[in-house]
A = this chain, B = another copy of it.
Amino acid sequence: MPDDALLQRRHRLLGTQAPLFYERPLHLVRGEGVWVWDGDGRRYLDAYNNVPHVGHCHPHVVEALCAQAKTLNTSTRYLDEQILGYGEQLTATFDESLVRLALCCSGTEAIELALRIARACTGNDGVIVTDFCYHGNSSTVAALSTAFLGPEGIDPRVRTITVPEPYRLRDGVDPDEAAMAYAADVATAISSLAEAGLKPAAILFDTVFATEGVPTVPQGYVEKAVALVREAGGLYIADEVQPGFGRTGTGMWGYQLYDAVPDLVTLGKPMGNGHPLAGVVARAKLIDDFTQRAMYFNTFGGNPVACAVGRAVLEVIQREGLVENAGVVGAHLQEGLRTLGQKHAMIGEGRGHGLFVAVELVTDRASRAPATAEAKAVVNGMLERGVLISRTGRHDNVLKVRPPMPFGKEHADQLLAALDDTLAAL
Seen from chain A, the residues whose Cβ lies within 8 Å of a Cβ on chain B are 1, 3, 6-7, 9-10, 12-21, 25-31, 36, 49, 51-52, 56-57, 62, 65-66, 69-81, 83-84, 87-88, 91, 99-102, 104-109, 112-113, 115-116, 119-120, 137-140, 142, 148, 150-152, 268-269, 273-276, 284, 287-288, 290-301, 303, 305-306
User: What is the CA–CA distance of A186 and B78 in the complex, to the nearest angstrom?
Assistant: 39
Closest to A295 in B: B148
Q: How far is the CA of A56 from the CA of B142 in the complex (A)?
A: 36
Q: Name A87's closest neighbour in chain B (CB-CB).
A: B13
In contact, A102 and B300 (Cβ under 8 angstroms): no
By Cβ-Cβ distance, the 6 closest A-B pairs, closest first, are: A17-B291, A150-B294, A27-B79, A276-B276, A73-B274, A276-B300
Complex: A305 Cα to B66 Cα, angstroms: 12
Given A28-B74, A269-B299, A288 and B15 touching (CB < 8 A)?
yes
Pick the residue among B15, B73, B106, B305 that contacts A284 (CB under 8 A): B15
- B79 contacts A10, C-beta separation under 8 Å: yes
**B120→A150 contact, CB < 8 A:** yes
Report the Cα distance A29→B20, complex, angstroms.
41
Residues of B within 8 A of A109 (CB): 105-106, 108-109, 137-138
Which residues of B lie under 8 Å from residue A7 when comparing CB positions? 79
Name A142's contact: one of B76, B116, B273, B306 (CB within 8 Å). Answer: B116
Q: Say which residue of B21, B84, B269 sits within 8 Å of A77 (CB atoms).
A: B21
Q: How far is the CA of A115 from the CA of B104 in the complex (A)?
A: 20
Q: Which residues does chain B contribute within 8 Å of A151, judged by CB atoms?
A: 116, 119-120, 290, 293-294
A78 touches B28 (CB 8 A): yes
A12 x B99 contact (CB < 8 A)? yes
Q: Do the beta carbons of B150 and A13 come within 8 Å of each other?
A: no
Question: Binding site of A, secondary structure by majority: helix, strand, loop or mixed?
Answer: mixed
Complex contacts, A102 vs chain B, CB 8 Å: 14, 18
Least Cβ–Cβ distance between A292 and chain B, in angstroms = 6
Q: Is the CB of A140 within 8 A of B142?
A: no
A106 contact set on B, CB distance < 8 A: 104-106, 109, 298-301
State how many angstroms separate the Cβ of A198 from the closest Cβ of chain B: 15
Whether A295 pairs with B150 at a CB distance below 8 angstroms is yes
Nearest-Cβ distance from residue A16 to partner chain B, whole angstroms? 7
Q: How far is the CB of A300 from chain B (nearest CB, A)?
A: 4
Distance to closest chain B CB from A285 (angstroms):
10
- Report whether A293 and B79 are in contact in the complex, using a CB–CB cutoff of 8 Å: no
| Nearest residue, chain B, Cβ from A71 | B30
Q: Which residue of B56, B79, B293 contacts A6 across the interface (Cβ within 8 Å)?
A: B79
Nearest Cβ on chain B to A150's Cβ, whole angstroms: 4
A140 interface neighbour in B120, B140, B291, B296, Cβ under 8 Å: B140
Are A71 and B57 neighbours in the complex by a CB distance under 8 Å? Answer: yes
- When the two chains form their complex, are residues A70 and B78 in contact, meaning their CB atoms are under 8 A apart? no
Bound Cα distance A404, B58 (Å):
32
Q: How far is the CA of A52 from the CA of B62 in the complex (A)?
A: 20
| Contacting pair B72 A29 (CB below 8 A) | yes
Tell me the smallest distance from the CB of A54 to a CB of chain B, in Å.
12
Q: How far is the CA of A231 from the CA of B162 in the complex (A)?
A: 45
Query: A66 and B75: CB pair below 8 A?
Result: no
Given A28-B74, A138-B109; A116-B276 close (CB under 8 Å): no
Once the chains bind, are A137 and B14 in contact (CB under 8 Å)?
Answer: no
Q: Are B115 and A139 in contact (CB under 8 A)?
A: yes
A75 / chain B contacts, CB cutoff of 8 Å: 49, 51
Q: How far is the CA of A8 from the CA of B105 in the complex (A)?
A: 25
Contact A15 B74 (CB under 8 A): no
Bound complex: CA A284 to CA B18 (Å): 13
Residues of B within 8 A of A29 (CB): 71-72, 81
Cβ A137 vs Cβ B69 within 8 A: no
Residues of B within 8 A of A120 (CB): 150-152
A382 to chain B, nearest CB (A): 15
